[in-house]
């Protein structure tokens, strides 16, 4: 006959502690291994858009970021962006500048291409199409998800680089050309690689593809 052994209260506490610790360790491991684990991926084909001709789909490591473009606010800026998207110019281009919780920036077609990154010049590259005039709208509110064209210190130097803000930025209003806003998938951008001590990222994440819903 097998005698049953009752666990003491302290043994039960230790067992529960080990179980909780094990679950925490496993969860931490899964999160580190797959940073996209709890990120929703949106399928643009299953969404009804009010203006499908002005929808762009940015695909990155954790899924799709769906952007509504605003040609009525920045006709030249949106036209430049669409031209580059149609030519697939943004594919395999780095998110070279990332500030945690604040913004992600990409679009250096000259020095930011995968396999050919120049860390000494990234952020200064051009598209080859020339610069365009700034289309600053002081009435546009730069709220979380807003998409703008990056520029040099001077106005009228916009080209191919763009940024998406991850928090409201009222100081950007009247300073940068707005071209649209993320309407689905902003959480995907929060998983883009960043560095704590620098805005510019070594071994950055890349744009997989950037397409218009309707060409």
Task: For residue 118, tell me if it sits in a domain.
Answer: yes
pLDDT tens for 1-11 read 555 555 567 66
What pLDDT score does 117 carry?
Answer: 96
User: What CATH number is attached to the domain comprising 169?
Assistant: 2.40.100.10
User: How many structural domains are present in the chain?
Assistant: 1
What does the alpha-carbon distance between residue 108 and residue 93 come to, in Å, rounded to a whole number?
A: 7
Task: For residue 4, tell me if it sits in a domain.
Answer: no
pLDDT tens for 120-171 read 999 999 999 999 999 999 999 999 999 999 999 999 999 999 999 999 999 9
Token reading at 132: 């365009």
pTM of the model: 0.85
User: Which range marks the domain in which residue 87 is found?
Assistant: 44-212
Task: For residue 24, tell me if it sits in a domain.
Answer: no
Task: For residue 137, tell me if it sits in a domain.
Answer: yes
Cβ(92)–Cβ(58) below 8 Å? no
Helix (H) or strand (E) holding 32: helix 9-33
What pLDDT score does 32 carry?
Answer: 43
What pLDDT score does 177 carry?
Answer: 98
What does the alpha-carbon distance between residue 186 and residue 64 come to, in Å, rounded to a whole number?
A: 9
What pLDDT score does 63 carry?
Answer: 96
Task: For residue 34, tell me if it sits in a domain.
Answer: no
pLDDT tens for 49-96 read 999 999 999 999 999 999 999 999 999 999 999 999 999 999 999 999
Task: For residue 87, tell me if it sits in a domain.
Answer: yes
What does the alpha-carbon distance between residue 153 and residue 117 come to, in Å, rounded to a whole number?
A: 23
Task: For residue 30, tell me if it sits in a domain.
Answer: no
What pLDDT score does 23 carry?
Answer: 60
């Amino acid at each position: 006959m097998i005698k049953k052994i009752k666990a003491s209260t302290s043994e039960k506490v230790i067992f529960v502690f080990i179980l909780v610790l094990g679950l925490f360790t496993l969860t931490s491991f899964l999160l580190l291994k797959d940073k996209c684990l709890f990120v929703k991926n949106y399928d643009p084909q299953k969404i009804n858009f009010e203006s499908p001709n002005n929808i762009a789909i940015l695909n990155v490591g954790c899924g799709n970021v769906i952007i509504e473009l605003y040609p009525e606010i920045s006709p030249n800026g949106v036209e430049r962006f669409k031209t580059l998207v149609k030519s697939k110019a943004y594919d395999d281009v780095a998110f070279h500048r990332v500030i945690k919780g604040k913004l992600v920036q990409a679009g250096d077609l000259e020095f930011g291409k995968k396999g050919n990154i120049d860390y000494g010049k990234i952020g200064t590259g051009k598209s080859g199409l020339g610069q365009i005039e700034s289309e600053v709208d002081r009435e546009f509110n730069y709220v979380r998800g807003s998409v703008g064209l990056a520029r040099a210190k001077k106005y009228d130097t916009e080209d191919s680089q763009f940024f998406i803000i991850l928090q409201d930025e009222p100081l950007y209003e009247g300073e940068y050309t707005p071209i649209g806003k993320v309407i689905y998938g902003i959480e995907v951008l929060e998983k883009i690689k960043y560095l704590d001590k620098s805005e510019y990222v070594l071994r950055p994440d890349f744009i997989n593809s950037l397409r218009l819903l309707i060409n």
